[in-house]
Structure 1
Amino acid sequence: MNRESNGYTFLFATVMVVLVASALAFAATALKPDQEANIKKEKMQYILKSFGVAVERDASEEAYKKHIISEVVFDENGTEISKDAFTVDIAKEKGKFPIFNAEKDGKKFYVIPVRGMGLWDAIWGYVSVDENLKVDGIVFDHKAETPGLGGEITQDYFQKSFIGESVFDANGNLQGLKVVKGYSGKDNKADGEVDAISGATLTGNGVTEMLVRGLKPYEKYLKSNKK
């Protein structure tokens, strides 16, 4: 075949496309188990970090088995439907509410996953509540918030501002947690409010919506487990 002909060029290009596509498909298939394992370990890290257990990714499974004493999934009526909370994807499985019962240094914690929308895309997190129904810790992450602005929700200074906040009001009703622009009551841990991030109002609004809506289904469960 004439290598300078259009037919040869077309055939060569077609063969190369098929070979490259096949190689990429094989690589994706071969790497999938490792990718899934890393996603699983990262989720464990999030859950553990919410109540103060920070471990490297490779140590996450052992730490998870040590500190997570049980898992529960219930429906919108508060009826238990499963004990496998870890595999529930709250972004896709509406009406399922997973919770992780944890223990550290003789104390119990209830870890609740939450998910919402920031300014640009999805935001999510894990809220750890102690037996007195106060926040012990919280972890946030995001897909596409602006670095230095909404992206600051992943920073320790913001996440730590929630510690000690009460999830319930003085009347025993779940009030959730709120991000408030210009908030000045930093010493008031009863109102469930924290100061917003400067220049990230819309992301802060998304965090508030996520926390108020996301915690509400757990009101009955948390009340029944209050110390």
Structure 2
Amino acid sequence: MSADSHPQAQSQHTGGLLASLKTVFRLPNDDPRKTIAVALVLCLACSVVVSATAVSLRPLQERNAARALKSEVVKVAGLDSAGMSLDQAFERIEQRLVDLETGELIADANPMTYSYRDAAKNPTMSSALDEAGRAGLQRRPDRMPVYLVRQDGQLETIILPVYGAGLWSTMHGLLALAPDGRTAKALTFYEQRETAGLGSEVAGERWLSEWPGKVLIDQAGQPVIEVVKGSVDPGAPNAEHRVDGLSGATLTSNGVTNLMRFWLGEQGYGPFLNRLRDNHRG
């Protein structure tokens, strides 16, 4: 077969297809074959337009997503009202990647080009989880981003991305800790699809305002935070480790407890937080 045979065959195939379409479109309008052909052509044209639009918009979507994440990090760091632009505020935040196995910060790694969501899907960049205590997750990225805020060289805030299963969705949030690595300063859930008016209150300002000051980890380094059913008794001895439950959303509340304990534990940021606490005490 000559080198020119393939283009020639393609040309003949295209010509035959066009001839067939012309034959179909000459049929009467009430002919079912013409109706089906028109529908197929319209579907093909629409799919091409949608695919082209999605490809062309992907860079813009990625930039918008990165900017939205920056905004959430700045907000939970408490720098959103400091009279700076978003980029200026974000520049004050140290962005690092941490090896969850060792708790060590990784040198020469750019967190802004790293996606923990993609890493969780890649067996070479993640670890399979056992059934117990995994916050509804199948795999855990081997590395996770962390954001550190320093004031005059001293660590002021530790910001950890956290996520886990709720009732209907995977909830993604950011947890801000005090330098002791145990006490909450702020929490936000910037992505969730829980039941409107019930579980969706996981992102509500009123409920999130209960978190600052809560002690999430005990002196032994074990996560003890719990979202309880109902309200917390302020006089109870363990009140500092408890947060009011979300009314009518027990499974979402349990999901928050599970994801917090997972990410603050040994399979999550536990080794990293232990290192920070040692440095803080020193």
State the TM-score, normalized to the length of structure 2: 0.69
Task: Determine which of 141, 155, 161 is the counterpart of 1:113.
Answer: 161
Rate the CA distance shift 1:72–1:187 in 2: closer, same or farther, 3 A: farther
**Which stretch of structure 1 is more off in the superposition, 81-90 or 135-144?**
81-90
* 1:54 match: 80
* 1:131 match: 179
How many aligned positions are there?
222
* 1:162 match: 211
Rate the CA distance shift 1:226–1:160 in 2: closer, same or farther, 3 A: farther
**Which stretch of structure 1 is more off in the superposition, 149-158 or 127-136?**
127-136
Q: Is the 8 A contact 1:141 1:153 kept in 2?
A: no
Instruction: Work out whether 1:98 is the aligned partner of 2:145.
Output: yes
| CA offsets 1:112-168 (integer angstroms, 9 cap, x no match) | 011111111211211111213321111114432111111101011111111012233
Task: Give the 3-state SS of the residue equivalent to 1:123 in structure 2.
Answer: strand
Higher Rg: 2
Rate the CA distance shift 1:189–1:131 in 2: closer, same or farther, 3 A: farther
Aligned mates of 1:9, 1:53 — CA distance in 2: 60
Rate the CA distance shift 1:225–1:124 in 2: closer, same or farther, 3 A: farther
- Kindly report the root-mean-square deviation, in angstroms, between the aligned alpha carbons of the 2 structures: 2.7
Aligned mates of 1:185, 1:129 — CA distance in 2: 22
Task: Give the 3-state SS of the residue equivalent to 1:43 in structure 2.
Answer: helix
Task: Determine which of 65, 89, 93 is the counterpart of 1:68.
Answer: 93
* 1:84 match: 110
* 1:206 match: 255
Correspondences of 1:211-226 after superposition (within 5 Å): 211-216=260-265, 217-218=268-269, 219-226=273-280
Unaligned 5+ residue runs, structure 1?
Answer: none
State the TM-score, normalized to the length of structure 1: 0.84
Superposed displacement of residue 40, structure 1? 0.8
Task: Determine which of 244, 247, 253 is the counterpart of 1:195.
Answer: 244
Rate the CA distance shift 1:167–1:6 in 2: closer, same or farther, 3 A: closer
Q: Percent identity?
A: 25
Q: Is the 8 A contact 1:121 1:142 kept in 2?
A: no
Rate the CA distance shift 1:69–1:187 in 2: closer, same or farther, 3 A: farther
**Which stretch of structure 1 is more off in the superposition, 69-78 or 186-195?**
186-195
* 2:13 match: none
Q: Is the 8 A contact 1:114 1:211 kept in 2?
A: yes
Task: Determine which of 180, 183, 188 is the counterpart of 2:228.
Answer: 180
* 1:30 match: 56
Aligned mates of 1:201, 1:23 — CA distance in 2: 43
**Which stretch of structure 1 is more off in the superposition, 70-79 or 22-31?**
70-79
Aligned mates of 2:264, 2:206 — CA distance in 1: 22
Superposed displacement of residue 3, structure 1? 4.0
Superposed displacement of residue 176, structure 1? 4.7
Q: Is the 8 A contact 1:110 1:128 kept in 2?
A: yes
Q: Is the 8 A contact 1:68 1:100 kept in 2?
A: yes
One-letter code of the match for 1:220?
N
Aligned mates of 1:111, 1:127 — CA distance in 2: 6
One-letter code of the match for 1:96?
R
Task: Determine which of 117, 122, 135 is the counterpart of 2:170.
Answer: 122
Q: Is the 8 A contact 1:51 1:138 kept in 2?
A: no
Instruction: Work out whether 1:2 is the aligned partner of 2:50.
Output: no
Superposed displacement of residue 187, structure 1? 8.9
Aligned mates of 1:111, 1:151 — CA distance in 2: 22
